[in-house]
Amino acid sequence: MSNTAAIIGGGVIGGGWAARFALMGWDVRVFDPDAEAERKIGEVMANAERVLPMLYEAPMPTRGAVTFAGSVAEAVSGADWVQESVPERLDVKHRVLADIQAACAPDAVIGSSTSGFKPSELQGGAARPEQIMVTHPFNPVYLLPLVEVVPGAASDAHVARAKETLTSLGMYPLHVRAEIDAHIADRFLEAVWREALWLVKDGIATTEEIDNAIRYGFGLRWAQMGLFETYRVAGGEAGMRHFMAQFGPCLEWPWTKLMDVPEFTDELVDLIADQSDRQSGALSIRELERLRDNNLVAILRALKQQDAAAGQLIKDHDDALRAPLGAEVPLVTVRRKVPVDWTDVNGHMNEGRYGQLFSDASEELMTHVGADRSYIDAGNSYFTAETNVKYLDETHAGEDIYVTTRVMLGEGKKLRLWHEMHRAADDTVLASCDQFLLHVSLETRRSCPPLPVVLEAVERMAAQHGGAS
């Protein structure tokens, strides 16, 4: 039986939450009085379904159902998690939270997407204040893993459940232990935003120049190292202490206007809006979203390959989603979506990625027969000696594919595998790979027979697979 999430408020953030929950196997009920809510959330879901699976090598959970309720009560009844994402007005949130608590289960987690309100402000006048907490995400919710969890008076049991649930969704729950306006991350964003407004108002930089300063410079560092680790490295061998000694005096210099903000006059709004239109107006919002999502997938996958920052989180979640191989013939060793960073100038899957995909299939089979990480750590492994790949049809980014694998030969130190890559939509064979491997001692770097438990497994599978049609 699947879990159920209720999403109250179906804007950009609410739609992102709906997509994250549904694509991780939860049933989702949405309430939003906007007549266009279903269309808008449908478009967010389409974006999410295209890109979120690209982060994973493991197959995604079966998508949960997304339905639209006619009232708050209908949406939250029986829900395990309720996410409030209504506009940032405290009176509105109080009214909606009261409606939620009147109909939801007493043990349901009620999270608020609020960017700035403290949990104690949200809990004021609530029937069960311990049930309500801040769970503040970042857009797009279906790709960015950070969620600031600010419990306030919420019970320890509710907080533990919230963190466990968010982790199971592939997200990173940052437990904010003290209440503060705008939590942690938005306070940084607000500081940068204030400085940017002054730079535009004073004619020092345009919106595009400010964006370029971020995306070509420190934004790339922040994506992998954050603030303090970046500055620690900047201090050289002497580390953070040297950095602070070198740049600490700057804090007394007039470098920023953090304690001041320009008046939001019509002239300033027009100036910024006009510059933004010139900068990005050639693309629709949906086109910008797709560009943003493609870039995020590529960055996150690069971090994943290096086991760094958010990439390590995705890798760990990917491993958790993996299921052991079955006993079918041939074995289905890989199910996945083709990522955007796997394509070439023709828009096709790059030929080098076929090799990676078939290598991934081999690794899955190795784990299946017992030649897993511990086996390798003990000094034994299989090395590929020869491959022959045939490209049979086009493959594009975003396509769902799967790989079948047969053990054609398992004899002593020799192992031969036959892989076929299929398009999931119609089972068309897109490519094949004949792969020959030798078992090797990692100590001598010479071929040798596998250990008996592995040899027995590959011999058994060769007998099953070699003659199968």
- Write the DSSP assignment of 218-229 as a string of letters: IHHHHHHHTTHH
> Using CA atoms, how far apart are residues 439 and 415, in angstroms rounded to an integer?
8
CATH architecture, domain defined by 4-175: 3-Layer(aba) Sandwich (3.40)
**Amino acid, res. 91:** D
Q: What is the pLDDT of residues 145-171, one digit of tens each?
A: 999 999 988 788 899 999 999 999 999
> Using CA atoms, how far apart are residues 230 and 232, in angstroms rounded to an integer?
5
Q: What residues contact 134, with CB distance under 8 A and at least 6 apart?
A: 111, 112, 114, 117, 118, 119, 122, 148, 149, 150, 151, 152, 176, 183
Contact between 363 and 417 (Cβ < 8 Å): no
What angle separates helix 452-465 from helix 351-369, to the nearest 10 degrees? 120
Q: What is the pLDDT of residues 24-33, one digit of tens each?
A: 999 999 999 9
- Determine whether domain 324-465 maps to CATH 1.10.10.10: no
**CA dist 462 → 23, 127, 408, 412, 418 (Å):** 37, 64, 5, 12, 11
Q: Topology of domain 185-282, per CATH?
A: N-(1-d-carboxylethyl)-l-norvaline Dehydrogenase; domain 2 (1.10.1040)
Mean pLDDT of 263-283: 90
Q: Is it the case that residue 466 has pLDDT exceeding 90?
A: no
The model's confidence at residue 260, banded by pLDDT at 50, 70 and 90, is confident
Q: Where are the domains of the chain?
A: 4-175, 185-282, 324-465
Length of the chain: 469
Three-class secondary structure of residue 105 per DSSP = coil
Three-class secondary structure of residue 317 per DSSP = helix
- Residue 455: count of CB within 10 angstroms of its CB: 19
The model's confidence at residue 1, banded by pLDDT at 50, 70 and 90, is low
Q: Is it the case that residue 352 has pLDDT exceeding 60?
A: yes
Handedness of CA 198, 204, 206, 211 (dihedral sign): negative
Q: What is the pLDDT of residues 413-461, one digit of tens each?
A: 999 999 999 999 999 999 999 999 999 999 999 999 999 999 999 999 9
Q: What is the pLDDT of residues 359-409, one digit of tens each?
A: 999 999 999 999 999 999 999 999 999 999 999 999 999 999 999 999 999
- Residue 103 has what DSSP assignment? H
Alpha helices (runs of H) in 306-338, residue ranges in sequence order: 309-321
Buried b (16+ CB within 10 A) or exposed e, 249-287: eeeeeeeeeeeeeeeeeeeeeebbeebeeeebeeeeeee
